[in-house]
Chains A and B, each alone.
Chain A
Amino acid sequence: MKDTWQRDVPVFNVPIWTRPFKFFCGLAGLGMILVVYREIAGLGPASGMTDAYAWGIWKTFNTMVLTGLGSGAFAIGIAAWIFNKKNLHVVMRTAVLTSFLAYAFGLCMLAIDVGRPWNFYWFFVPWHWNYHSPLLEVAVCMTVYASIPLFLENIPPILDFVYDRWPDQRPLVKKLDKVIVAGFPYVVSLAYVLPAMHQSSLGALMLLGGNRVYPLWQTPFLPLLYVWAAAFLGFAFVTTTLLFSSMMWNRALDIDVMAELNRLTMWLVGLWLVFRAIDLTLRGSILAAFRFNIFAALFWIEIAILIYGWSKLREAGNTRSPRTMFYAALLVLVGGMLYRFNPTTTAFQPKAGAFYFPSAIELLVSIGFMSLGIAIFLYAAKVLPILPGSNELARKMEAQQATQPGISGFAAAPRAGQFATGD
C-alpha cells in the first residue's frame, strides 16, 4: 500500500525477544567468547592468517567491506543535505544508525585484529604519527568520525525517546535540541568530509600492495573507486534494510522515496561501471580480463553481478516494484562487497604458492560482530524512532501508548489473536 513517509516511528507492535533476536544475540555471545580465546591464544590459533596473508577477514571484511555498507549516512546524507533532496531526510535515521553500527563494530574488529593493542595510545600523540600511512589515516579518521559526528547524528532519536519516556526532562531535551540545531551544519559536514577521506584511504590501503594486487583491480584510482563504491553500497544497504524491515514488521512503503533511492543508486552504479571500464581500458589492464584464470573469472563475476544489478535498478525505476528494488539492491550489495573485498585477499597474490582461507573461529568472530550489530538494530528499531513511517502511524502508536503506558515501542503482552509473535 502506498504510504507517505513523514517521520520516523518505532516498531511498536512487536515484542523484543523474538526468536531471530535471540539467535543473533546467541551468535554475538559466541563471537565474544571466541574473542577472549583470540586474546589469550594469539592470532594464529584463532584464525587462518599466515605471514603470506597477514590480513584475514577481520580487517578486510569487517572493517574494509562492512564500513562500505555503513556509508549510508555519508552517501544518503550528501544527497539529502548537499543536493537538498528533502524526501530523503526521513530515511536518514535508518542510514545513520546502520552506519554507526557498521563503523562501531568495524572499529572493534580492527582493535581485536591488531596484535599489540596496548600501543594504540600513540593514537593520541599526533607528533609521532607517520602521516603518509594510509592505515593511520583510516584508523584516526574512522575513530574520530564514529565517535564524534556519526555518534552525534544518532543523538536525536535518543532525545525523542527521552522526551517521550521522561516528560519531566523535556526542558533539558529542548535545550539540547537548540544545541543540535546550532551545531548541525558543522557536525554534519564533518560527517561527510571524514568518510570521504577514510573510505578513499581504505582503497589506498591496497595501493601499497603494488603489483601483487592483480592488475584488474590495482589502479591509481583505487581510492576513488572505493569511496564511490562505498556510496552506492550505502544506498543499497539502506534500501535493503528499509525493504526487509517493511516486510518483516509490516510497515508501509513510501514508494516515491524508495524510487528516489533507487534512482540515485542506479546513477552511482552506472557511472562507476563506466569509470571503471574506462580506467581499465586506458591502462591496458582490460586485456587481463580475457585470460583463462581465476582472477579473470572473479572479475567477470563481480562485473556481471553489478551490471545485472544496474539493469534491475533501471527496471525497478520503471516499474516501481519493491521486489525488483530489493533484488537490485541485493545484487548491488553483493557486487560492491565483492569489489571491495577482492583486492585485499582473492586478487592479492603476495607470492606464488600462498593461499588463505579463514578458519572457523575467525568466521565465527566476524559473524558474531555482525550479529551484534543486527541485534542492536533490531532492538533499536523497536525502541527508538528509526524506521520511517507516516504521521498516522505515529498517532496510532501514541494511542496505543495511552492505553498501555510504558516505554514507547515496547509491546505489551500480545493479546491473543491480535498481534502475532515473530520478528
Chain B
Amino acid sequence: FFLRFTMPSLEQDVYAKKNISNLPMELLRMIVEPLEIWDRLSVRLTCSAFEEAVATSTHSCRIMELQYDYEDSVFKVMIDAFELFGCTTRSVAHRTLHWRQRMFGQLRVQSLIVRTVRLIDIRVVNSFLDACIFDELTVHVSRHQGLSTRVYDLIAKAKVRVVLHIRYFVPTPKQFMTFSRPVEFHFFKKWKPIKDEDFLNVLRRGHSIKSTHGIKLRSEQTLAEAIKIVSYSVVAQALRIICIEPDFLHPLLQMTNAKKIAPLKHYHSHHTYNYLRAQIYSEFYPRFGQLFVSSCSYDEEEE
C-alpha cells in the first residue's frame, strides 16, 4: 500500500509482467505447437518471446516431401500443403538452413517421402532430416544413386515402416539380405527369374514385395511356404496371390488362420482367364490398412 504511493510505477510493472509473453518458454511452446505452419509464421512476428517459442518448439505434420530436380538443380520441400522452394546454391541453402532453425526446433513427421536420394547430398536437406523424426519413410530410389549407404542411413532412422520404390532395377537376392529391418519394396521393373528359395528368404526377412509384373514361382510348395511365412510373421506383412485355379488355392489357404485371410475377391476376367485373388495378412498388418500390400503372383499363364 505504501509502495503504491511512493513508487506508483511498481504496481504497473507487476501487472505488466502478467502477460502471456512472460509465461515460461515451455508453456509458450505448448501454445504454438498445435498451430499450423502459416500461424507459426504469424505468431513469430508478434514478439520476441513467441519468436523464440516457435524456433524451439516441435512441429508435427502428416507428410513431408523432399524432391530434387536434377535438370534445374532445384529442390522442393513440402510440409503438408505448404511448399518451400529453394535451390542448391550455397547462399540459398544457408538461408534455408537458418529458416528451418527459426521455424522448428524439431519436426515430427508421420510420413517422410524422399523423391530422390541424391538430394541427401545437399547440406540443407541433411539439416532438415537431422531435425526430423519420422514414422514412415518412402524413398523413391534414383537410377543414379542405387542402394547407397545414404539409403541405408535413412532407413535406419524410420521409426515404424519403410517403403522403397525402385523403378529401374531389382536388387539381387544378396542385396535383399543387406537390409537389417523389414522393408516394403515396390518394383516397376520386370524381375529376372528368381529362385524359389531366394524368394522365400526375402519373405523370411520380413520384407514385402509389390511388383507390377509379379513374381513367377516354380512350385506349389513355395506358395504354400510363402503363405505360412506371411500368416505367422511377427512383422507387418501381406501376400497377394493371383491364381486362376481356385481348386488349387483353396487347400493352401486352409493351412492358415482364417482370420488372417481377407475375403476372397470376386473372379475377374483378364484376357481369356478368370483370376481368383486372395490376400494373406500377418497379425500386425491391419494397423497399416490397405496401404501396405505385398504381392506375389502365381500366374499359370506365365508358368
Are chains A and B native binding partners rather than an unrelated pairing?
A: no
